[in-house]
Amino acid sequence: MRYSRRSFLTTAALASTAINLPARESEAKPKKRIKLGISTYSYWHFKTAKVPIETVIDKAAEIGVEGVDILHRQMDVEEKGELNASTRAYCQKLKRHAFTSGIDLICFSIHQNFVQAKPEERQRHVDHTLKCIELAYEMGVPCIRLNSGRWNTIESFDDLMKARGEEPVLPGHTLDEGFKWCIDSIEKCLPKAAECGVVLALENHWGLTRTPEGHLRILNSIQSPWLGALMDTGNYLENPYSKLEQIAPKTVFVQAKTYPGDGEWYTLDLDYKRIASILAKANYTGYISLEMEGKQDPDKAVPKSIAMLRKAFGS
């Protein structure tokens, strides 16, 4: 087929115009896909024999999520033990197992309590946290779950849950003291976090972070790119959505509770489409890690919960 010079120039002009036209917004800025993970806690609620971390990694790969969130107490090491050669070798074993399974290790959920009246006790929990940062680094985990701690004036966790997470301040001390102890302790951990490239994600857990006001009081007192909020969707027992909205802008990691077969301590009926909307408004694009806390067999409950989260978050 032959083209005239006029046809050629017309075609060239249209092509030039098409090249210079701005792309549609949806094409220019594709929506970031929320990735899903599974907490090893979903398969072990402290009440039975431990389910190995490797087993959860295998199950996560079969279900088709991208990551696994490791509960420290579920590991095959002594929680308060030293970071020795044996522990390092175990961490490397887990890292290799996750890699060859196509799974990212996305968070390391640890326990500490900075609400301690004695300085030496606070330092003991700081030292434990520093060791856990090193453990996360060994496994290539970019984030650890941090607790503020609580007064422990209600010793039993079962009794604490019966009290809806509220407990009195330690006699002879004040709430302000508790916040100062916690803030000072976290600040001592941040240089190691920056050195290892591990984000400290402070959870809205029991104790000082039971309310969004307390949670944000700590976060807003410390200016560091290595500290953010961990949003646990199941830790606000009343009026959760307005509270989740308050901490969403600070959130760097999300643990999503579900309760198939009713919860171990309580059951919440959470609207995950609404929670997805809250996180989207805050421009959250990190991981959503399932914490299945129901009594149903996890081999049934976990895949069902992941399917629900996929639908809610479009993942």
Tens digits of residue pLDDT in 62-93: 999 999 999 999 999 999 999 999 999 999 99
Average pLDDT, integer, range 36-61: 97
- Cβ-proximal residues to 304 (8 Å cutoff; 6+ apart), any chain: 260
Residue with tokens 């290790």: 105
Q: What does the alpha-carbon distance between residue 233 and residue 259 come to, in Å, rounded to a whole number? A: 12
Indicate if the alpha-carbon torsion angle 78, 79, 83, 87 is positive or negative: positive
Report percent pLDDT > 90 for the chain. Answer: 82
**36, 64 in Cβ contact below 8 A?**
no
The reported pLDDT for the residue numbered 29 is: 54
Is the pLDDT confidence value at 139 over 90? yes
- Pick from 188, 175, 120: nearest CA to 149: 175
Work out the percent of the chain whose per-residue pLDDT is above 70: 90
Q: Given this model, what pLDDT does residue 90 score?
A: 97
**Amino acid letter for position 228:** G
What is the token pair recorded at 32?
A: 């970031």
pLDDT tens, position by position, 147-202 = 999 998 888 888 888 888 889 899 999 999 999 999 999 999 999 999 999 999 99
Residue 16 has pLDDT above 50, yes or no: no
- Average pLDDT, integer, range 26-39: 75
Tokens for 243?
């509270």
Q: 39-313, what's its fold?
A: TIM Barrel (3.20.20)
Tell me, what amino acid is at 52? P
Query: In this model, does residue 229 exceed pLDDT 50?
Result: yes
Specify which residues 251 forms β-bridges with.
229
Averaged pLDDT for residues 19-38: 63
